[in-house]
Structure 1
């Protein structure tokens, strides 16, 4: 698929067919973790690929109810794959305490932006684009309450030093591609480009 087509087809989906995602496709997709940007090449990204039906069902029990309460269909429980996106902040501090990254006093500099979170969002975008290129659809959720986040984190298998940033749902879309997106993008107008982009020429 041409990159312009990948961009045009990327959307958040909340309805999946039951078809499983072939393992070779899934393995090819998650390899983008090695292409995701990370400040100083800290490599703090972590993924947990969850296809086990019982684990996905437990995650859905924790996270799906707020969506159902809004009248949305079950989608977390229907997605055949969950990919937990995690970030290890310590990887960034370890990297920036190395000789080529420390300041003149040999200390790690101040983080004016916590780039581990920034980089985690970049990884999410790459995963979505790679999935679209494979003919797959994605959604994303982050459990809202702190205890829900902790409960989902426990199901991912991530160690304690890896923070969960959210979960990508993955599968073959059951939505009509010609229909408006099922989430907020289908209900809100797009802002004009001149509101989003500033040119200084």
Structure 2
């Protein structure tokens, strides 16, 4: 697939077919964790791939009610794969306390932005693009449900960025989404040229 086609195919969906995703396809998608940005090559990313139907149901029981109460159709419970995106902040601090990263006084650099969260967003987009390249659709929900991190088995030192839903879309992936095109801001409102 051409990169422009992959970009066009990347969109958030809320409808999935129940078809399972082959393990080799899943492995190709999650392998992007090796290529994802991590400040100083800290490698603080942590993923949990959930295909077990019972655990997926338990996650949906915690996270989906808010969406259902908002009038949406079930989608977390329908997606055949959930990918937990976690980040271990301490991996960044450990890396930036190494001799090649400390300042002249031996101190860890200041963090003007918590790059562990920034990098987890980059990983999320890479997972979405890898999934689109495999003909899969993705959605995403944040860590809004109490007890979600514990349920999915994240270690205590790993923060939950959110969960990517993944599967084959129940909608035509090539069909335009006109309501989004109508709301899209002009490029010059988003980009300044100097």
1:143 CA displacement: 3.4
User: Which stretch has the larger CA shift, 187-196 or 133-142?
Assistant: 187-196
**Aligned residue runs from structure 1 range 36-55, under 5 A:** 36-55=36-55
1:180 aligns with 2:174: no
For 1:142 and 1:197, how far apart are their aligned partners in 2?
27
Of 185, 188, 193 in structure 2, the residue corresponding to residue 191 of structure 1 is 185
Residue 57 of structure 1 is matched in structure 2 by 57
TM-score under structure 1 length normalisation: 0.92
Count how many residue pairs are aligned between Structure 1 and Structure 2.
Answer: 193
One of 166, 180, 184 as aligned partner of 1:170: 166
What SS does the corresponding residue of 2:62 show, helix, strand or coil?
A: helix
187 and 67 in structure 1: CA distance in 2 versus 1, 3 angstrom threshold:
farther
The residue number in structure 2 matching 1:91 is 91
Unaligned runs of 5+ in 2: none
Number of the residue aligned with 2:150 = 154
TM-score, structure 2 as length reference: 0.96
Name stretches of at least 5 consecutive residues in structure 1 with no aligned partner. none
Tell me what 1:127 maps to.
Answer: 127
Bigger drift between 155-164 and 32-41 goes to 155-164
Alignment match, 2:79: 79
Equivalent residue, structure 1, for 2:113: 113
SS at match of 1:199: coil
